[in-house]
Amino acid sequence: MFDIGAAELLVIVITAIVVIGPKEMPRALRTAGRWIGKMRRMSNHFRTGLDAMIREAEMEEAEKEWRERNREIMARSGGGDFGSDPVPPAMEPLAGPVQPDPAPDADGADARAEAAIARAKPREGADASDNPEVAGEPELPLDPPPPPIEGQAGR
């Protein structure tokens, strides 16, 4: 803003030390910092006010443009007349209940499904101990091997 370079800043610091003195320098810098802070706050407040005014002006302009375009569109479309009947006609009810069409291979599929269900059901009269899967016991091998025949023991 003020375009103060390093050389100019050095001259200002040396002049301030000579004029104010090293003892009073901290208090002077504190006072200068307060004034600079106040100026920044005032400039930010001013800038915020200007931004709000500009934003309001832009919104009013956009709203005005929107109203003009809306009037043009309404004039082109017939002034808001959306046809003689604004509500579409209702659907006519069906004469009777609708029967679903059977699938071409539905009979065969139904029969296969029924057979699979019948195989999966447990038999009547069979209890859980007959079925090792139901009893929770592992399935054992069939029978123990037969004892060796005396003549074939050496093989």
Low-confidence ranges of the chain (pLDDT < 70): 1-2, 79-94, 98-107, 122-143, 152-155
Task: Tell me if residue 34 falls in helix, strand or coil.
Answer: helix
Please report the pLDDT score of residue 116 as a whole number: 81
In angstroms, the CA 71 to CA 55 distance is: 24
pLDDT computed for residue 83 by the predictor: 53
How close are the terminal C-alpha atoms of the chain, in Å?
111
Residues 6+ apart with CB under 8 A from 128: 134, 135
Task: Identify the three-state secondary structure at position 53.
Answer: helix
pTM: 0.36
